[in-house]
Structure formats: C-alpha cells, structure tokens
Amino acid sequence: MKPQVHQVLATLSYGDAIGNEVLAIRRVLREAGYQSDIFVGTADSKLEDLTRDYSELAGASRPDNILIHHFSLGSRPSRIAFALPDRMILVYHNVTPPEYFVDIHPLLVRECYRGRRELSAYAKRCDLGLGDSEFNRQELEAMGFPETGVLPVVPGFGHLDVPPDGRVLAAYDDELTNIVFVGRLVPNKRIDNVIRNFAAYQRFFNPRSRLLLVGSQSGFERYYALLQALIAKLGARHVHFLGHVTNSELTACYDVADAFLCASEHEGFCVPLVEAFAKGVPVLAYAAAAVPATLDGAGVLYETKDPYEVASLVDAVTSDQSLRERIVAAQDAALARLMARDFRGTLIGFVDRVQAMPRRPAHLVADDFWQQVDATERHEELLVYRPALGHALPKEPTKVV
C-alpha cells in the first residue's frame, strides 16, 4: 500500500506563491494515487474547505506516512509535526533575516530569529530538505541538512488571464512612463531604494513619470510612514501606493507598466519577477539572494545602489525600443525554460526517494510534549474567551509549543 503523503503549514493564503504551490502539490499527489490532505493552523476563508485543522494531524499520523512540511516561520503546526513519527520532507520557503525588521516590526524580529533557530533543529529530523530555489537549498545545506534538493517554483499565470480593471487603466494609461513594483511593502524588499531610484529617474531623465507600488502594507504601517517621509524629502511626484489589489487590478498594473523595478535584497524566489516576464514587462532587478537565478539570464541585473546609475538603466530600457524588445525576447525564453520544468516528475521522484531511504534514528521529544500542547491550547482559549484572565498568566506557558 502507498503511504499517505500529507502537507502541513502554519497558514494557507489565497493567491500567494506558497498557497499555489501547496495546492499544486496536493493535486499532483492525488493524481498519483496518494491520499493527501493539507493540515494548517489557519487558512483563507476561500480555502478552508480544502484543509484540515492541524489538531487532527496527530490522529492521521503513521510511521510510514510522509509529511511535506512547508517551513517559513516556526509555528505550533510545525512543532507538532516535528514530534510525530512520520517521515518528513521539509520544503523551505526562506525566513527573512531578522535584522531587516529592527525598529520596524519588533514581533517579526523575534519570530524570524526563532524561525531560523528552529529550522536548524529539523536538519536531524527530516529525511529530505528541499528549497524552492537553489538559493534556499544552499541555506539548508549550510544548516547541516544531509540530503537536499530543489523543488522548483513553477508558477501559474491564470490569475492574470482576466480582463484588466478599467479604473486602473483610466487612471494610469496615459502619456506618463509607468515604473512598477509588485510585492508586499516590507523592509527586505527595499521599497525605499525603489523610491530613491525612481526619484533620480524622474529628476534627471524623465519628469513625466510615475511609480506604482503594488502590495499590501498591512502590519508595516511604520515602514509605510517612513516611505512617505522619504518621498517628501526627495520631492518625488506621482508615487502611488495601490495596496493589496484584485487580479483584474494587478493585470491592469502590468498592462500599463513600462518597466518593473526591483531593489529587493532578500528573496527566496520572487514570483512577481516572472509575472512581469509573462506580461511582457522588462525587468530591472538588484542582483541579490535568489533574484539572479530567478531571472535566469534575462532581464537587467544591476549591482549598484547609486540611484543615478540605476535611473540611467531605467531610462535606457524605457527609451530604447530595440533594447526593450531584446530584453523581452530574452525574458520570454527564460519563462519558457521555467515552465518546461517537470514539477510533477520532480515531486514524485522526491517522494519515491524518501520511501527508498533507510529509516533515520528516532528523534527525541520531551516526555510531556503532548501535555504542553494541551496547556498551550487552553492558554489560547483563555486569551479568546477570558482575555483578562489569559493576560494575567505567564506570556509563554511552554517552551515547546
């Protein structure tokens, strides 16, 4: 009999890269004849019917089963998965270095530090560690994971195959040159440098230009305020924060874009780069982390942080039609190589590889682990239903869950 191959993760979000990959993995596994469910702590309301609560994970556990554990930050679902006897494939989506959030988001500083520290414990727990990019695989190898590989991100673009939003087109499809960045407004993506580069482009090359920043700022209101102060200091005009957008609005943003400008310093893959490829938008991106591998020889990579130098590249791409066409042609070729990757065969190959491996030594778990799980759940219930009493208790009733 085939083992069951389940997935576990903290949160299943709608429309993001991790969520799309999780759903693709389940589809491939079920088509291959495996019983496969998704166990989560929380899920977007649109996806709840496709998931099971992580509290059911222990009941579904079997020593011959395989858990595909999507790791991005430490969580209770992660720690329960760690304690179970199932074999484990860890898929690493990267944990942002905590220093990016100092003075911006103190909670994330702590969570990212704990996440990176917790990840190291899985080196001896997992049968196989997979990065969703070569950059992430190398991080796993550096942390001591003895068996590693790459489960490539093969994004779908169906969400962009919708009519563009008419209001976005009416607002921004005009004589101004539109520079676009898509991604959450978080410090590691260096939106501040995107703004500096754009301000130099607008001042020295093209005053009739506009910057569209597409992405949620939820939870990063302090960073958003700092960005607004930077815009005022630089005197940049026509800088628009569009926030979280619908698929139709996103499609329209790519349709009006003359160039995609990325200054991110830490990416595990960066799906918006290949979305821009798919929409025929020339990409300029800072050469850091996984970005060079994601571009795969296409787009324009730059290594400078001098705003004037970056602005001159933007000007060349947006003003030279022949250069633009060559860049887009190279991006089309890179996108074709990406989409030709055999995601299904690679995934099933990794599952077969784990089944053929000898069993690893049993991992040690505290004798009172499950009592600590119960205590943590009771504490969470108090915070919800008896908040005054819950907040009077110790902040961290357990060190395990």
**Would 379 be classed as within a structural domain?**
no
Q: How many domains does the chain have?
A: 2
Looking at residue 107, its pLDDT comes to 87
Do 184 and 326 share a domain, yes or no?
Answer: yes
Distance CA 34, CA 1 (A): 10
| Residue 174, pLDDT above cutoff 90 | yes
Distance CA 273, CA 295 (A): 7
CATH code at position 110: 3.40.50.2000
pTM for the model stands at: 0.86
Distance CA 19, CA 46 (A): 12
Do 228 and 265 share a domain, yes or no?
Answer: yes
Distance CA 274, CA 152 (A): 13
Instruction: Assign 373 a pLDDT band (cuts: 50, 70, 90).
Output: low
| Residue 278, pLDDT above cutoff 90 | yes
**Would 324 be classed as within a structural domain?**
yes
Candidates 119, 34, 33, 135; CA nearest to 79 is 119
Do 84 and 208 share a domain, yes or no?
Answer: no
Do 67 and 170 share a domain, yes or no?
Answer: no
Q: Where in the sequence is the domain holding 182, given as residue range(s)? A: 160-339
Looking at residue 20, its pLDDT comes to 86
Instruction: Assign 13 a pLDDT band (cuts: 50, 70, 90).
Output: confident
**Would 390 be classed as within a structural domain?**
no
Helix (H, G, I), strand (E, B) or coil at 118: helix
Q: Which residues pair with 179 in a beta bridge?
A: 211, 259
Looking at residue 197, its pLDDT comes to 98
**Would 386 be classed as within a structural domain?**
no
Q: Across residues 3-12, what is the average pLDDT?
A: 95
Do 84 and 198 share a domain, yes or no?
Answer: no
Instruction: Assign 75 a pLDDT band (cuts: 50, 70, 90).
Output: confident
Instruction: Assign 331 a pLDDT band (cuts: 50, 70, 90).
Output: very high
Do 193 and 279 share a domain, yes or no?
Answer: yes
**Would 388 be classed as within a structural domain?**
no
Distance CA 194, CA 211 (A): 9
**Would 306 be classed as within a structural domain?**
yes
User: Average pLDDT over the chain, rounded to whole?
Assistant: 91
Do 115 and 24 share a domain, yes or no?
Answer: yes
Instruction: Assign 397 a pLDDT band (cuts: 50, 70, 90).
Output: very low
Residue 294, φ and ψ in degrees, nearest 5:
-65, -40
Estimate the crossing angle of helix 76-83 against helix 106-121, to 10 degrees: 10
Residues 6 or more apart in contact with residue 217 via CB below 8 angstroms: 184, 185, 223, 224, 241, 243
Better-scored residue on pLDDT, 256 or 394? 256
Do 167 and 246 share a domain, yes or no?
Answer: yes
Do 129 and 182 share a domain, yes or no?
Answer: no
Do 131 and 207 share a domain, yes or no?
Answer: no
Do 215 and 317 share a domain, yes or no?
Answer: yes
Q: For 114-127, how does the pLDDT look when each residue is reduced to its tens digit (9 = 90+)? A: 888 888 889 999 99
Do 189 and 261 share a domain, yes or no?
Answer: yes
Distance CA 254, CA 238 (A): 17
Q: For 195-243, how does the pLDDT look when each residue is reduced to its tens digit (9 = 90+)? A: 999 999 999 999 999 999 999 998 999 999 999 999 999 999 999 999 9
Estimate the crossing angle of helix 321-339 against helix 307-319, to 10 degrees: 90
**Would 140 be classed as within a structural domain?**
yes
Helix (H, G, I), strand (E, B) or coil at 192: helix
**Would 371 be classed as within a structural domain?**
no
Looking at residue 393, its pLDDT comes to 66
